[in-house]
Chain A
Amino acid sequence: MSVPRLQFDGISKVFPAVRALNDVSFSVGAGEIHGLLGENGAGKSTLLRVLSGVYRPTVGSVLIDGQPVTLNNPVAARAAGVAMIHQELQQVPRLSVAQNMFLGHPITRGVFVASREQERRAAGALAALDSSIDPAAPLGSLKVAQRQIVEIARALLDSARIVAMDEPTSSLTPSEFERLAEVIAGLARDGVAVVYVSHKLDEVFGICQRATIMRDGVVVDSIDLAKVSEKAVVSMMVGRELAQEQHRSHASGDVRLKVRGLASAKKVRGVSFDLHRGEVLGIAGLVGSGRTELLRLLAGADRASAGTVEIGGKPIRLSTPRDAIAAGIGLVPEERKREGIVPLRSITSNMALASMGVFAPRGVIDHRGLKRVAAEKMKRVNLRPFLLDRPIRLFSGGNQQKAIIGRWLAAGTRILLFDEPTRGIDVGAKAEIYHLIEELAAEGHSVVVVSSELPEVIRLADRVLVMRDGAVAAELERASLSEQAIAAHAIPQSETQAGRARYA
């Protein structure tokens, strides 16, 4: 048997309070795409940080092509041929695409940066992924999906021997993922060892041959994906069986929210729909089809240029989020870190932020009452660990999301708008969030769920609006929901033939 390209040999990493990794060993061959699976907190990210030189292992070593390597810092890791593609994009929006791709090791001519040469090479790397990206454009002008592609192109430029990807597809559309999968397969054909971390099991099954499953810092098993089922993998990840839930509708006939001809200066062009009491309304569509922008209009975060919104038959003004909150509308945003949480503040403070009027009726916060409500709401959303005074940044993405949901429960919100509710959230917490959304609907809340994951939309929604180019392209009832049906309406007509095949 040949020497593996990458081998983890008995790696342990101990932090003051926790043992994050415990005797982790597995190997990845040259040309292999190896999945790394596990819930948040299982140790995947810590292991990737060891590989990329951010952490030094307490015990154990990393071997590349059979040779132990010392990865004391990210520069050393890069020199050893390790390229890391992060989940959180580590980029500088003001700089150009090319400047970002050469950040830290620019091409120079004398003391000057050779911008043209950088742009030429950047264009070369990008051509394989998305030739529509202009290397000279400021990175900030790109959509999140495109910025992700830039990050991947940057790893291509480094001609790395080992590429580690931490959730590279969390914001990509299916067709973009398809393109990425081709690129990853190409990397593997060139002999690169790919470590692929994703919460999306179907992707991992689609592109990886083998996978290592971690739980609580230890390797549960390294498996051949051809020989196991997704369900078996999930129970290895969470350590128990997850019940498969069936959809149940709680929608009533009462119209709670009536939207007519809603439009914005930017992306939304005349959207009309009704939202009922107890209903879960799914909104599908490609990234950039105006879904997020529509939610922001409804949440008062952006101002509409035309159209009306009625609640319970009364027209309402939505100039600021305060207006929306007063009308009983709350947004659970897509980018939790940027728009959801106040990282340094406690769970309780984050929860209370939208309902200060309730907790401080006479201008002084009733901390005792606040604690009682926080305990009640966080119990309700099953926050773990149940530490209400702990800064929210120390919680996993799933638990941060639960706290944001708790925020709206505390504020007495009746209409909840979810933008990609489970993005970057692990399998176990994902099931909990689904459950919570269903319970909210059962209690009579009205819910809107925007999601790029079609199985998620289908799992949750009573009815689905498919958006395309800022307008509603189709409204699909529960009975006629399928991934194919949604895809057929989501993709612009000119692309339909090619797109349908890719989306399916």
Chain B
Amino acid sequence: MTDITEHTAARPQADFLRRFSMRDAGTLIGLVVILAVFGALVPGFFAERNLINILQQSSINACLALGMTLVIISGGIDLSVGPTAALSAVISASMLVAGVPFPLAIATGFALGLACGLVNGILVAYVGLQPFIVTLGTLSSYRALALIYTGGNPVLGLPAGFRAIFNGSLFGLPLAVIIVAAVALIAWIILKKSPFGEYLLAVGGNEEAAYIAGVPIARTKIAAYMISGLLAALAAQILIGRLGAAEPILGNLWELDAIAAAAIGGASLMGGKGSVIGTILGAVILGAMRNGLTLMNVQSFYQLLATGLIILAAMLIDRVTRGRG
């Protein structure tokens, strides 16, 4: 026994490597392969500017995908992230245009994201409706609210000061990338180091067993949806900061990219399995591919096809390499 405790305690490095699972290593190899292919085909793909571009283009999807990962791990799904973002965006934007102080406008946007997630979570956890149907319903409802609120028109003319917040950069990296990296770190800590992370994995892995073991099922699920809503709101702030305007139709089909990134990263739609590192890598894979194809002047139809194929390829590799229990 002493043998075992000493071993594990004495090797934090080995510990870290073990945490970086085989599945994540697979996703990383996938990313390396894609980078290598585009590096060979596209001149200037590896230019520092372009690499930063890829990260920036991936950041919004990564942000959503992190929340999506937590929800998927809990055994659910959140289809309503795009409309949640849109609702948060138009409300924050119209407050900003009306001259409300930035912190208040941003906080209201975040609160709205949390509220959207709360509604999803309550319907799933307390009412007992299926996550897919619940968030399909709120997907339409939240979108409708955003459209009704704005009358279908974009909110234009956001103050330059606000835009500067999200368009700034730090250590040569766009602030958006740094924000999302920080969110990823927090998500990683939540999943690996907090009871909530264990609860998420247990609820998604076997809800009945988790219940008997005293896991607060409803609270865990609701928290997952609220985090997803909050991150959708964060993505919305980043986007309207970049664009200087908020459209009620913003975030259309965002949920699909977020699910794709999580799935490429190893999250199982059956619940109980998923990885923060994998999801980030998955989002960068999607971003790098789109960036590369765009630089190659490939028609967007083919880009869509490539996205589809990469998801299917990731799932096939997953299936083939998964060892027998």
Q: B198 to A388, Cβ gap below 8 A? A: no
Q: A338 to B209, Cβ gap below 8 A? A: yes
Q: A339 to B1, Cβ gap below 8 A? A: no
Say yes or no: A321-B193 contact (C-beta < 8 A), given A342-B205, A352-B198: no
Give chain A's interface secondary structure class. helix
Q: Mark A245-257, 1 if CB is under 8 A from B, else 0.
A: 0000000000000
Asked if A333 is an interface residue, CB under 8 A from chain B, the answer is yes
**Which parts of B194-231 form the interface with A (CB within 8 Å)?**
194-195, 198-199, 201-202, 205-206, 208-216
Say yes or no: A363-B195 contact (C-beta < 8 A), given A322-B214, A344-B205: yes
Interface hit among B2-10, B52-60, B121-129: B2-10
Asked if B324 is an interface residue, CB under 8 A from chain A, the answer is yes
Say yes or no: A344-B273 contact (C-beta < 8 A), given A360-B195, A365-B195: yes
Asked if B325 is an interface residue, CB under 8 A from chain A, the answer is yes
Q: A363 to B214, Cβ gap below 8 A? A: no
Asked if B272 is an interface residue, CB under 8 A from chain A, the answer is yes
Nearest Cβ on chain A to B210's Cβ, whole angstroms:
7
Say yes or no: A321-B205 contact (C-beta < 8 A), given A371-B8, A375-B4: no
Q: A356 to B9, Cβ gap below 8 A? A: no
Say yes or no: A393-B193 contact (C-beta < 8 A), given A342-B202, A354-B214: no
Say yes or no: A365-B198 contact (C-beta < 8 A), given A321-B214, A322-B216: yes
Q: A333 to B214, Cβ gap below 8 A? A: no
Q: A364 to B272, Cβ gap below 8 A? A: no
Which A residues lie within 8 Å of B212 (CB)? 299, 301, 321, 331, 333, 339-340
Q: A342 to B8, Cβ gap below 8 A? A: no
Which A residues lie within 8 Å of B8 (CB)? 371
User: Looking at A301, A356, A367, A368, which has the most chain B CB atoms within 10 Å of its CB?
Assistant: A356
CA distance A299 to B211 in the complex (A): 11
Q: A345 to B201, Cβ gap below 8 A? A: yes
Nearest Cβ on chain A to B186's Cβ, whole angstroms:
12
Which A residues lie within 8 Å of B193 (CB)? 364-365, 367
CA distance A352 to B193 in the complex (A): 13
Q: B324 to A15, Cβ gap below 8 A? A: yes
Asked if A276 is an interface residue, CB under 8 A from chain B, the answer is no
Q: Mark A384-413, 1 if CB is under 8 A from B, else 0.
A: 001011010110000000000001000000
**Which parts of A329-354 form the interface with B (CB within 8 Å)?**
331, 333, 338-345, 349, 352-354
B214 touches which of A325, A341, A344, A372 (Cβ 8 Å): A325
CA distance A468 to B70 in the complex (A): 46
Q: B208 to A339, Cβ gap below 8 A? A: yes
Asked if A483 is an interface residue, CB under 8 A from chain B, the answer is no
Which A residues lie within 8 Å of B199 (CB)? 356
Residue of A nearest to B15 (CB): A367
Q: A342 to B209, Cβ gap below 8 A? A: yes
Q: B209 to A340, Cβ gap below 8 A? A: yes
Residue of A nearest to B197 (CB): A365
- The interface of chain B, by Cβ under 8 A from chain A, is 1, 4-5, 8-9, 18, 189, 193-195, 198-199, 201-202, 205-206, 208-216, 272-273, 323-325
> Besides A352-B198, A357-B195, A363-B194, 13 other CB < 8 A contacts?
A321-B211, A339-B209, A340-B209, A340-B212, A342-B210, A343-B206, A349-B198, A353-B198, A353-B210, A354-B214, A356-B199, A365-B195, A379-B1
The list of the 7 closest CB pairs from A to B, nearest first, reads: A356-B195, A342-B205, A353-B213, A325-B214, A354-B213, A322-B214, A342-B206
15 contacting pairs across A/B (C-beta < 8 A) = A301-B212, A321-B211, A331-B212, A339-B208, A339-B209, A344-B273, A345-B201, A345-B202, A349-B198, A349-B202, A353-B202, A357-B195, A365-B194, A372-B5, A394-B325
